[in-house]
Amino acid sequence: MPPVIDAHAHFLPEPIVAALRARSEAPDIRAEPGGGESFGIYRTRMPYGRAYDDLDARLARMEELGVDRQVISLPGLFGVDSRPADQALPLVRAFNDGIAELVRRHPDKFSGIAALPLADPAAALEEYRRARGLGLSGMILPGDAFVSAAAAERVRPLFELAAEIGGLAFVHPGPLPDTVAGPGAGPVDAPAPHTDSIVHRRVTVDIQNRMTEVMVTLALTDFLDPYPSVPVQVANLGGTLPFVIERMDHVYALRHPDQPAPSRSLRPLYVDAASLGPRAIALAAEVYGADRVLFGSDSPIFDDARCLDAARQARLTPAERAQVAGGNAERMLAEAG
Buried-exposed string 91-122: b where 16+ CB fall within 10 A, e elsewhere: bbbbbbbbbbbbbeeeeebbbbbbbbbbbbbe
The strand pairing partners of 72, in sequence order, are 9, 112
- Give this prediction's pTM: 0.93
pLDDT in tens, the chain (337 residues): 789 999 999 999 999 999 999 998 889 999 999 899 998 887 678 899 999 999 999 999 999 999 999 999 999 888 899 999 999 999 999 999 999 999 999 999 999 999 999 999 999 999 999 999 999 999 999 999 999 999 999 999 999 999 999 999 999 999 988 765 544 444 445 555 555 666 667 677 888 999 999 999 999 999 999 999 999 999 999 999 999 999 998 999 999 999 999 999 899 999 999 999 999 999 999 999 999 999 999 999 999 999 999 999 999 999 999 999 999 999 999 999 9
Eight-state DSSP code of residue 10: E
A 10 A CB-CB count for 317 gives 10
User: Within 13 Å and on the Cβ side, how many CA atoms surround 257?
Assistant: 1
- Residue 116's φ and ψ, nearest 5 degrees, are -130, 150
Q: What is the pLDDT of residues 55-98, one digit of tens each?
A: 999 999 999 999 999 999 999 888 899 999 999 999 999 999 99
